C-alpha cells in the first residue's frame, strides 16, 4: 500500500491519509466591523476545494488569539463568538468530506500590523487599521518594522490565557486538532530564540528561561484541549544564523520536552525570525530537520517545504523521514493533489458523490 494513503492515528483520532495542508494566511478577513477576523465565503471556498480534493487534514491558517495577535488587519481570529459561528460552517463541510479540520492558534508578536503581501506587506499605522506590536524584547524585526512594546510578566500571563480561551473556542467551532504556532518569527518563536529574546528575567537568557513561555502555553492549552484529541506544535527548526539564534540542536532538545508536555506531533518548518539571512531553498529543503527530530526523539513529525510531486512525497514517508507531508503551494495550485496521487499510487481517497463519474 502507498505510504501516502495509510491512515494515521494520534490519540483517538484517525486521519485518513498523509496528504495534509499546512496553514497559509489568506489575508482576506474584514479588518473592522462586527465580522472582523471571521472567515467568509472566500475562506469557505478555499478550504472546501481542498477537502473535496481528498486532503486528509487541513490546518486552517494562522488564527489570532487576540486582535493584536494578528499579522495583518485582514487575518482570521478566534477571540469572539461571531468568529466561532463562522468557523462552524467550514469545519462541518470538511468533516462531511472525510477531512479532519485543524486550526493554528497564533500570536504575531513583533511582526504584527502589516499590510497584505500583494500590497507590499509593510507595517501599517492606525490610519490603516494598525496597532502596536508586542514582543519579549523591544527589538524590531528589521529596519521597516517599528520597535515593539516589551511585554511585562503580567502581560505574558494574559497572553497564555488568550491561547487557552482560543483553544476552547476552537473546540466549540468543531476543530479536531489545534496547532500552536511557534515558528516563523512570531511571538512564541521570538521567546525561544536568543536573536529576538534579550530579556534578563525568568523568560530570557538561558535555554530553560527562553522556552518557559512556550511550555506554559502548551501546558495551559493541553489542560483544556480534550485528552482524546491531538495537539500539534509548529516550530522553526533553525533561524538560519551561524550564531546567536535558535538551532537544529535546540529543536531536537525541545521536541523531546514538548512530547513530554503532551504535544502529539511537531510540524517542522524553518526561518522567519531573522531578516536578511540566506536560506538554501530547494525541493524538500526542510525535510532533513523533520527527519532528525524523528530519528532522535519519540516525537511524530510532519515535513514541509517545496514538496511538490507525488513521487517525492511518497519517498519522504517510505524513507521514514516524516509521518506526514504538508503541501502548501502545491495544494494552492492543485486542490485535488490527493485524489490524483491516489490514482497514480493506487491508494484510496474520499471522492464526493458528485465527482464519481470522472474518477
Catalytic residues: 186
Chain centroid, CA 168 distance in Å: 17
Provide φ and ψ at 158, rounded to 5°.
Answer: -65, -40
How does strand 13-15 pair with strand 8-10? antiparallel
Burial of 59 per CB tally in 10 Å (0-12, 13-18, 19+): buried
- Integer Rg of the chain from CA: 19
Bridge partner list, 182? 235
Phi, psi of 175 (to 5 degrees): -75, 140
Tell me the longest C-alpha to C-alpha distance in the chain. 64
Q: Are 136 and 214 in contact (CB under 8 A)?
A: no
Catalogue the E-assigned strands of the chain.
Answer: 8-10, 13-15, 19-21, 57-64, 100-106, 134-135, 149-150, 177-182, 231-236, 265-269, 301-304, 324-326
Alpha-carbon distance of 72 to 88, in angstroms, equals 23
Amino acid at each position: 500500500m502507498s505510504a501516502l494513503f495509510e491512515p494515521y492515528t494520534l490519540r483517538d483520532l484517525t486521519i485518513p491519509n498523509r496528504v495534509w495542508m499546512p496553514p497559509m494566511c489568506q489575508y482576506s478577513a474584514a479588518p473592522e466591523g462586527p465580522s472582523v477576523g471571521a472567515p467568509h465565503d472566500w475562506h469557505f471556498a478555499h478550504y472546501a476545494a481542498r477537502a473535496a480534493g481528498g486532503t486528509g487534514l487541513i490546518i486552517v491558517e494562522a488564527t489570532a488569539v487576540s486582535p493584536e495577535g494578528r499579522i495583518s488587519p485582514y487575518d482570521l481570529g478566534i477571540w469572539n463568538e461571531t468568529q466561532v459561528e463562522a468557523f462552524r460552517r467550514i469545519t462541518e463541510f470538511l468533516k462531511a468530506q472525510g477531512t479532519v479540520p485543524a486550526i493554528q492558534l497564533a500570536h504575531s508578536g513583533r511582526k504584527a500590523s502589516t499590510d497584505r503581501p500583494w500590497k507590499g506587506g509593510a507595517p501599517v499605522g492606525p490610519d490603516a487599521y494598525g496597532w502596536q506590536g508586542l514582543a519579549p524584547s523591544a527589538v524590531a524585526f528589521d529596519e521597516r518594522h517599528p520597535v515593539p512594546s516589551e511585554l511585562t510578566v503580567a502581560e505574558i500571563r494574559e497572553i497564555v490565557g488568550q491561547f487557552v480561551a482560543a483553544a476552547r473556542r476552537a473546540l466549540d467551532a468543531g476543530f479536531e486538532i489545534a496547532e500552536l504556532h511557534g515558528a516563523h518569527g512570531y511571538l512564541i518563536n521570538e521567546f525561544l530564540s536568543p536573536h529576538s529574546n534579550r530579556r534578563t528575567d525568568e523568560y530570557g537568557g538561558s535555554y530553560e528561561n527562553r522556552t518557559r513561555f512556550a511550555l506554559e502555553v502548551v501546558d495551559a492549552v493541553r489542560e483544556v484541549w480534550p485528552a482524546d484529541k491531538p495537539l500539534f506544535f509548529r516550530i522553526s527548526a533553525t533561524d538560519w544564523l551561524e550564531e546567536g539564534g535558535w538551532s537544529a540542536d535546540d529543536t531536537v532538545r525541545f521536541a523531546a520536552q514538548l512530547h513530554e508536555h503532551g504535544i502529539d506531533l511537531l510540524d517542522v518548518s524553518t526561518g522567519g525570525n531573522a531578516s536578511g539571512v540566506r536560506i538554501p531553498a530547494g525541493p524538500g529543503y526542510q525535510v532533513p530537520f523533520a527527519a532528525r527530530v524523528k530519528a532522535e526523539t519519540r516525537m511524530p513529525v510532519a515535513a514541509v517545504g517545496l514538496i511538490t510531486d507525488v513521487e517525492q512525497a511518497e519517498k519522504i514517508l517510505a524513507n521514514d523521514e516524516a509521518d506526514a507531508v504538508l503541501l502548501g503551494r502545491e495544494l494552492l495550485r492543485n486542490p485535488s493533489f490527493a485524489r490524483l496521487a491516489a490514482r497514480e499510487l493506487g491508494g484510496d481517497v474520499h471522492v464526493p458523490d458528485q465527482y464519481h463519474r470522472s474518477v
